[in-house]
Amino acid sequence: MISIEDRYFSLSRILLLVVGLWPYQKSKLARLQFICFFSILIIFIIFQLTTFITSKCTANFVIKVLSLVFVCICMIIKYYSFFINSESIRYLMEQLQRIYDDLEDSNEIAIIEKYGRYAKCYTAILITFIICSVCMFTGALIWPDILQIISFTNKSRPRQLQILTEYFIDQEKYFYYLLLHINAAICIGLTSTVATGTMLIAYFQYMCGMFIIASYRIQNALKIQISQDIIVQNKKLAHSRIKSAVDIHRKAMEFCIYLISKFEISFFFLIIFGVMTLSLNIFRIFQIASSTCNADELSISFIIGSISLLYMFVANLVGQEITDHYNYIYIAAYKIRWYIAAPNIQKLLLLLIQRGNKTFGLNIGGLFIASIQCFATLANTSLSYFTVMYSVRQ
């Protein structure tokens, strides 16, 4: 028996093990790991918000702080939601394994393996992007110290964190300890975001594969021409193929609905904070570029904005793929010569065609359906908020 966990979820498993979220690992050490990492993220947000106590809260200052706080909140939402739904993630993994084990047709196995490879490619690409982002982000934080070392100057300049935080201690004296905490929080947050995101993307890719398998079964069900003098055995075979297509189609829909129901609230808040993160960081980019032109701050805002935009795009792209693959079943059921089939087969095909008339996708709270159109709407909303903030500033 082939394990899809080992073959197609190996990269996601490594990332989830690193941040203590792998659903098959429920030891005390894993829970302690989760508590430590979650505490680091929470403390990082708290010490950013404490700057409001010790500093004058101007509009620019509030935007500067919240532009990073909101992205940290998104990381915490993903991290915690995945932890509390670990049993559901494990259950879905077991369901996928059962579906894979039930496949007997070599073409169907090839289809599901193709989408498994797509999931692995998504994971590899996003891991590469995040590694580059972490390196750039960390480099922006320590760049002033690197310049001082390269310049070989004996003058000691006051060291300052590029991220606004207030730890209520001497930041000059404990600079490297504070920098270590900031870097740890960023690495944990980005790693957990990629780990959870790629895991969900992999699940959605398998759903696309299941929809394609349903289409394949429909297209091949009536290859044996059904006529008045056809043998009963072939009629039963065609009927069995259509039933199996309806069955895997139903399983794919149930799989999708179940997964969305478990993460619906967290996805809703991610959309809100994601839009605000993108808006604030676009504003920060224009603000820095038109005034101080601080390269370190500019790079940090650019990296955060790019990650937010990419995450928003990939999430909606996957949602669009779900909708498109669902529609393939309707097209397949409509194009085959259903009128020459037996009455009981026609009823099953009619059921699929009726289902196809209703749109299906990743529906978040009845307000958002993940798609390219939804991505465009969210991006336009972010730009609208940025325009309002920029016009008020002017």
How many structural domains comprise the chain? 1
**300 contact partners, CB below 8 Å, separation of at least 6:** 68, 137, 140, 141, 162, 163
- Reported as a pLDDT band with limits 50, 70 and 90, residue 38 is very high
Query: How deeply is 30 buried, as exposed, middle or buried, from its count of CB atoms within 10 A (0-12, 13-18, 19+)?
Result: middle
The total of other beta-carbon atoms located within 10 Å of residue 119's CB is 24
Query: Following DSSP, what letter does each residue of 357-375 receive, concatenated?
Result: TS--S-EETTTEE-SHHHH
Enclosing domain of residue 88: 4-393
CA 357 – CA 62 distance, rounded (Å)? 48
Give the tokens for residue 274.
Answer: 């994601």
- Residue 69: closest CA among 249, 235, 280, 220: 280
- What pLDDT is stored for residue 247 in this prediction? 84
- The overall average pLDDT reported for the chain is 82
Separation of first and last alpha carbons in the chain: 65
How do residues 344-391 score in pLDDT, each as one tens digit? 667 767 766 766 667 788 888 778 888 999 999 999 999 998 888 878
How do residues 181-191 score in pLDDT, each as one tens digit? 888 898 899 88
With beta carbons less than 8 A apart as the criterion, state whether 361 and 370 touch: yes
CA 79 – CA 93 distance, rounded (Å)? 19
CA 81 – CA 75 distance, rounded (Å)? 10
How do residues 96-142 score in pLDDT, each as one tens digit? 888 888 888 888 889 988 998 888 888 888 888 888 877 777 776 66
**pLDDT for 227 beyond 50:** no
> Would you say how long the chain is, in residues?
394
Say which residue the tokens 């991006």 belong to: 379
How do residues 49-96 score in pLDDT, each as one tens digit? 999 988 888 888 888 899 889 999 999 999 999 999 989 999 999 888
Crossing angle (nearest 10°) for helices 295-335 and 372-393: 150
CA 108 – CA 371 distance, rounded (Å)? 27
The total of other beta-carbon atoms located within 10 Å of residue 367's CB is 9
**362 contact partners, CB below 8 Å, separation of at least 6:** 204, 256, 260, 318, 319, 322, 369, 370
Q: What is the arithmetic mean of pLDDT over 153-168?
A: 69
Query: How deeply is 205 buried, as exposed, middle or buried, from its count of CB atoms within 10 A (0-12, 13-18, 19+)?
Result: buried
- The pTM assigned to this predicted structure is 0.85
